[in-house]
Structure 1
Amino acid sequence: MKKPHACGTNRFEIIRLGMDIKLKCTGCGHIIMMPRRDFDKHLKKILEHHEN
Structure 2
Amino acid sequence: MSYQTGDLVEMKKPHPCGSNKWEILRIGADFKLRCSACNHLIMISREKFEKSVKRKI
1:8 aligns with 2:18: yes
TM-score (norm 2): 0.80
- The residue aligned with 1:50 is none
Q: Which has the higher strand share?
A: 2
The CA deviation string for residues 1-52 of structure 1, in whole angstroms up to 9 with x for no partner, is 10010000111000000000000001000001000000000010000xxxxx
C-alpha root-mean-square deviation of aligned residues, in Å? 0.4
Work out which of the two has the higher radius of gyration on C-alpha atoms and give 1 or 2: 1
- Structure 2 gaps of 5+ residues are 1-10
Q: Number of paired residues?
A: 47
Name 2:30's counterpart in structure 1.
20
| TM-score, with length taken from structure 1 | 0.88
Identity %: 51
Distance 1:25 1:42 in 2: 14
Structure number with higher relative contact order (C-alpha < 8 Å, ≥ 6 residues apart): 2
